Structure 1
Amino acid sequence: MLVPDLPLRTDRLDLRLFTAGDFDALHDYQSRPDVTRYLYFGPNDEAASREALARKRRRTALRAEGDVLNLALVRRDSGALIGDVMLTWTSAAHRQGEIGYVLHPDHAGRGYATEATRVMLGLGFDGLGLHRIVGRLDARNTASARVLERLGMRREAHLRENEWVKGEWTDELVYALLARHWRER
């Protein structure tokens, strides 16, 4: 079980729970076609973004297999919500998890996704005692692949046309990191 003491802080970010006041910022990036191009959802209308915010607000701890911890990324210098990051506890028996992240493009390319995701890897390995954490992404999302590679994750699979997403067959990449490699870093 993992109920983190929040907010979690990095050099430039606060990672905190979502609040009702986060709707405008969340909708701003979830409604953008360039943000949701490689995701299973979106672009969101207001109703879909409200549902997404309600779901994120329920994802506050990892108490059992299947739970998701979803945190808002807030720039400490400006107070702006710039994205979100998540850790899913996918298997208790096999001590497995999965990470994910979404970042507003106005803040991309500055290392924020890497910085925030590193915190989530620490929670998974050091806080929850996971053995392996994966990151899955659309193979066309080269920027996201670079984030996972910077975190020391290894590409384990390239699955060809394995998912039907938004009216087309898409390839999926699977990256993973083991606890022992996390500790070695």
Structure 2
Amino acid sequence: MPLPSFPIKTRRLVLRRYAADDLDALHRAQSREDVTRYLYWGPRSRVEVEQALTERTGLTELRAEGDRLVLAVELVETGDLLGEVHLFWVSKEHRTVEIGYIFHPDFEGHGYATEAAAQFMRVAFDDLHMHRVIARLDADNTASARLLERLGMRKEAHFVQNEFVRGRWADEAVYAMLASEWPSAQLAEPFVRGLPGDA
């Protein structure tokens, strides 16, 4: 899969490969309940984060269906690690990828997550020539849903109590966008403007 060269830079952000010296910052985020609340896994110990970081340093290519690309998101101005963005290759035949993201709540309100996710939408459609980008999330995660809507994605499904996650039955929402819809969604202002609830 012909990925662009890394890092990917915007006016405010750098999307780059993870490095070993990201451990402290990654642990500060992944050890928090408010960061992992809607994820399949809960707050992680430092050992668990170290294992996760080792895995992430290898997730830099999309060679086959089922592969995952994960990049760290760094603030240009300070060098702070804000979070990460994901692309998961769902289907080669149907040219579909899934987008995901995890951001530290201390950096909310500046539009960073939207700006970073928009770059991965661009990669999916403009560089990888995907037909469809989807996102799956806990339906209770309204902040994430608003981010996807700012990207121009539409809600296509709501599955009621379809997964048992960390001791509770969770609803799942599915959002999507087609390649034919991507050009009309490229509105510059939402990708750089800080909005309430946006990381």
**Length-normalised TM-score, structure 1:** 0.98
Post-superposition offset of 1:3: 3.1
Mapping for residues 87-102 of structure 1, pairs under 5 Å: 87-102=87-102
Q: Secondary structure at the match of 2:27?
A: helix
Deviations 1:90-118 (A, max 9, x none): 11000000000010001012111100000
Percent identity between the aligned chains? 54
Mapping for residues 58-77 of structure 1, pairs under 5 Å: 58-77=58-77
Mapping for residues 115-126 of structure 1, pairs under 5 Å: 115-126=115-126
Q: 2:17 touches 2:70 (CA, 8 Å); kept in 1?
A: yes
Match of 2:182 in 1: 182
Structure 1, unmatched stretches of 5+, are none
> How far apart in 2 are the matches of 1:54 and 1:40?
19
> How far apart in 2 are the matches of 1:47 and 1:2?
34
Q: 2:161 touches 2:171 (CA, 8 Å); kept in 1?
A: yes
Match of 1:37 in 2: 37
Q: 1:2 touches 1:61 (CA, 8 Å); kept in 2?
A: no
Match of 2:2 in 1: 2
Q: 2:3 touches 2:128 (CA, 8 Å); kept in 1?
A: no
Match of 1:20 in 2: 20
> How far apart in 1 are the matches of 2:134 and 2:56?
20
> How far apart in 1 are the matches of 2:171 and 2:12?
34
> How far apart in 2 are the matches of 1:156 and 1:3?
28
> How far apart in 2 are the matches of 1:98 and 1:8?
19
Post-superposition offset of 1:158: 0.7
Post-superposition offset of 1:51: 1.3
Q: Secondary structure at the match of 1:58?
A: coil
Instruction: Give the residue type in structure 2 aligned to 1:127.
Output: D
Q: Secondary structure at the match of 2:181?
A: helix
Post-superposition offset of 1:22: 0.4
Match of 1:157 in 2: 157
> How far apart in 2 are the matches of 1:136 and 1:40?
12
Match of 2:142 in 1: 142
Q: 2:8 touches 2:15 (CA, 8 Å); kept in 1?
A: yes
With a CA cutoff of 8 Å and minimum separation of 6, indicate the structure with the bigger relative contact order.
2
Structure 2, unmatched stretches of 5+, are 186-199
Post-superposition offset of 1:41: 1.0
Mapping for residues 100-111 of structure 1, pairs under 5 Å: 100-111=100-111
- The count of aligned residue pairs is 185
> How far apart in 2 are the matches of 1:2 and 1:167?
40
